[in-house]
């Protein structure tokens, strides 16, 4: 027997339905491969519980049984039931128990004219007649309805229904987005639509893309997508994670629509244009405030007479950048790292730093060198590397990325392995560079270190920490367990999981630059989760998340340090 809980509610239009919700516990006899839908049917049959829920095909094709299991959206007919599961409805207005009201979604779909538009004249006629004369679908199919008797109307109908060959050179593949089964899981899971009405949601934007990518459609779809919040998406990928058809609305639709907007001079937003100009001119997405990590590190390595603490031109202060934990994070002696890449018996490893580590979080770069050294690894930090191009790709400015790829191609061509310490950079090198015919052997630092850490050299840290999953690491690279395993192996570290560690903090997709109010609202939720568990530090592997969450904690008056996992390891090895 297993025990599960179901969130029950009985909607009353005259009362607040939230006050009527409660969890009810049931014990059920689990059978082999028993699905959530089977469990709900079992409960109704054996307990006469009369739980209300939707289901139809039982094959993952209709989408009607979408709900939440342990706060994660899934289809009841596909997800296997497990002991301790909590079943609840999607994040919409509840009618009863697990049945939600989808009428607003369907009304929006109707009002947005989400059908292939061949010409404005036919569109207007069709909408008018469907509204005033109540044409039925069988009348349309048979062409017997009186509104189609005139030669003019028949000609219009024939032209819209006539099959024609599509010039593939003028179209974008829509096979993936056309597999949507309208379960609306993406709308329930999307964190942005819970924060602003400016973004209509991934389902609608994806629907628009289907027509914008079709050369037969004459609608002004790109502009429509902008009006409905094209630049509000953070690229978190949660819509793709919950989609039963594995449609990632950002990569499969939104990013492509942003590229069309750029080509048509309708986008991106001005902050994104400014960022692009900076990358093209400097090779970095952030301004240089102090001596960069790459420059400083290579100067030390190749100049035997240099000393980081005596370099008058170096304005980087390790202790200042770690003021919240400076009592447990002493400076390091980089000159003892003895990096040597000429040993033929070892793989030739390079570090791709990313813009933030080079120009903002230099301490993180030096932490990586210390951790590699402590575990017997050697690596190079090539000076000619440049921005990976992720900020340009996410905002649709794709044609500006090719020169960056070519420079990195030349920089890393002779290396066996590329290590990344930024989730966004790693995801870009792994997932986007193959589109430019460049396939590098890339590993996130947590992948590389997870089974190679020498724990005997570590000291006890006596710290309570939690972990924030960067979207571009957890969903972009499917890396979630490796960082947790590392944290649990660090001596003296108590690991506490926050409520929703993989919920987007709002720093990605160009939103922090272009829609800062949305980014601020999203990170406020993350701050609350962190405050609820009373930890000393928040650990992550994304400089952008780190910067964003740290700013938010400071703004809320919370003295909690946000650190990269490498900084924590560096402390353990001191």
What is the DSSP code string of 422-471?
-HHHHHIIIIIGGGGT----EEEHHHHHTTT--GGG-----EEEEE---H
Task: Provide the token pair at 370.
Answer: 């210390």
Distance CA 574, CA 565 (A): 15
pLDDT confidence bin for 345, thresholds 50/70/90: low
pLDDT at residue 305 is higher than 70: no
Mean pLDDT of the chain: 86
Q: How many CA atoms lie within 13 A of 37 on its CB side?
A: 17
pLDDT at 7 over 60: yes
CA distances from 185 to 12, 72, 378 (A): 24, 10, 46
pLDDT value at 22 more than 90: yes
Structure-model confidence comparison of residues 159 and 339, the more confident one: 159
* pLDDT tens figures, 416-473: 999 999 999 999 999 999 999 999 999 999 999 999 999 999 999 999 999 999 999 9
Is residue 164 scored above 70 in pLDDT?
Answer: no
CA distances, 418 to each of 78, 385, 413, 422, 425 (Å): 38, 12, 10, 12, 11
Domains along the chain with CATH numbers: 2-12+19-103 (3.10.20.30), 173-267 (1.10.1060.10), 455-573 (3.40.50.11810)
pTM of the model: 0.84
- Does position 402 have pLDDT exceeding 50, yes or no? yes
235-265 tens-digit pLDDT? 999 999 999 999 999 999 999 999 999 999 9
Task: Express each pLDDT in 472-510 by its tens digit.
Answer: 999 999 999 999 999 999 999 999 999 999 999 999 999
Average pLDDT over residues 546-554: 97
Q: Which stretch, 216-220, 337-341, 400-404, has highest mean pLDDT?
A: 400-404
Ramachandran bin of 549, using left for φ above 0, alpha for ψ from -120 to 50, beta for the remaining angles: alpha
Which range, of 160-174, 279-293, 560-574, averages the lowest pLDDT? 160-174
CA-based max dimension of the chain: 93
Look at residue 151 in the predicted model and tell me its pLDDT: 58
Residue 130 pLDDT: 30
Query: 506, 515, 510, 511: which is closest to 549 by C-alpha?
Result: 506
Asked whether the predicted pLDDT for residue 5 surpasses 60, the reply is: yes
Looking at the chain, the whole-number percentage of residues with pLDDT higher than 90 is: 75
Q: What is the 3-state secondary structure (H, E, C) of 51-106?
A: CCCCCCCCCCCCCCCEEEECCEEEECCCCECCCCCEEECCCCCEEECCEECCHHHH
Q: Which residue has the higher pLDDT, 262 or 291?
A: 262
276-304: average pLDDT: 90
Task: Check residue 400 and report its DSSP letter.
Answer: G
pLDDT tens-place string over residues 68-115 = 999 999 999 999 999 999 999 999 999 999 999 999 999 988 888 888
| pLDDT classification of 16: cutoffs 50, 70, 90 | low
Q: Residue 346 — very low, low, confident or very high, per pLDDT cuts 50/70/90?
A: confident
Considering the chain, what percentage of its residues have pLDDT values greater than 70?
A: 82
Return d(Cα 153, Cα 291) in angstroms, integer: 71
DSSP for residue 231: G
Q: Are 505 and 536 in contact (CB under 8 A)?
A: no
Q: Among the listed ranges 174-188, 396-410, 560-574, which one has the minimum average pLDDT value?
A: 174-188
């Amino acid at each position: 027997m297993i025990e599960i809980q179901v969130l029950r509610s009985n909607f009353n239009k005259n009362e607040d339905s939230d006050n009527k919700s409660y969890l009810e516990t049931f014990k059920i006899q689990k059978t082999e491969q028993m699905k959530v839908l089977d469990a709900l049917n079992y409960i109704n049959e054996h307990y006469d519980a009369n739980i209300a829920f939707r289901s139809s095909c039982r094959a993952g094709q209709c989408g009607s049984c979408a709900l939440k299991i342990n706060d994660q959206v899934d289809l009841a007919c596909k997800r296997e039931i497990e002991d301790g599961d909590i079943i609840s409805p999607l994040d919409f207005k509840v009618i009863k128990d697990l049945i939600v009201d989808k009428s607003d979604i369907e009304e929006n779909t109707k009002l947005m004219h989400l059908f292939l538009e061949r010409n404005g004249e036919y569109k207007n006629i069709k909408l008018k007649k469907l509204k005033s004369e109540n044409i039925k679908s069988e009348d349309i199919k048979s062409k017997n309805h009186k509104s189609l008797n005139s030669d003019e109307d028949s000609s219009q109908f024939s032209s819209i229904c006539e099959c024609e060959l599509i010039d593939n050179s003028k179209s974008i593949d829509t096979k993936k987005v056309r597999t949507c089964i309208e379960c609306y899981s993406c709308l329930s899971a999307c964190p942005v639509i819970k924060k602003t009405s400016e973004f209509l949601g991934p389902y609608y934007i994806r629907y628009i893309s289907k027509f914008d990518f079709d050369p037969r459609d004459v609608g002004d779809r790109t502009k429509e997508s902008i009006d409905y919040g094209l630049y509000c998406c953070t690229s978190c990928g949660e819509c793709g994670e919950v989609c039963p058809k594995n449609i990632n609305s950002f990569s499969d639709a939104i990013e492509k629509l942003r590229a069309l907007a750029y080509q048509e001079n309708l986008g991106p937003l001005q902050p994104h244009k400014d960022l692009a100009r900076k990358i093209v001119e400097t090779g970095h997405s952030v301004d240089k405030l102090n001596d960069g990590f790459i420059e400083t590190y290579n100067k030390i390595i190749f100049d035997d007479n240099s000393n980081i603490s005596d370099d008058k031109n170096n304005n980087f202060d390790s202790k200042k950048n770690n003021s919240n934990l400076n009592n447990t994070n002493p400076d390091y002696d980089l000159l003892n790292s003895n990096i040597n890449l000429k040993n033929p018996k070892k793989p030739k490893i390079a570090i791709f730093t990313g813009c933030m580590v080079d120009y903002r979080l230099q301490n993180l770069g030096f932490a990586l060198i210390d951790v590699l050294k402590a575990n017997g690894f050697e690596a190079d930090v090539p000076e000619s590397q440049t921005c990976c191009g992720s900020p340009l790709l996410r905002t649709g400015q794709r044609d500006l990325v090719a020169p960056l790829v070519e420079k990195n191609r030349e920089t890393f061509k002779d290396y066996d392995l590329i290590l990344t310490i930024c989730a966004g950079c790693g995801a870009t090198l792994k997932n986007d560079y193959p589109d430019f015919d460049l396939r590098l052997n890339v590993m996130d630092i947590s992948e590389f270190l997870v089974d190679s850490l020498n724990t005997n050299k570590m000291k006890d840290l006596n710290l309570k920490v939690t972990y924030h999953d960067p979207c571009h690491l957890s969903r972009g690279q499917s890396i979630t367990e490796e960082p947790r395993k590392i944290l649990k192996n660090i001596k003296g570290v108590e690991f506490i999981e926050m409520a929703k560690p993989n919920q987007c903090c709002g720093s990605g997709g160009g939103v922090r630059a272009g829609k800062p109010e949305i980014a601020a609202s999203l990170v406020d939720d993350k701050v609350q989760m962190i405050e609820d568990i009373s930890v000393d530090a928040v650990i992550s592997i994304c400089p952008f998340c780190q910067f964003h969450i740290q700013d938010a904690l400071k703004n809320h008056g919370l003295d909690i340090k946000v650190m990269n996992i490498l900084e924590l390891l560096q402390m353990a090895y001191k």
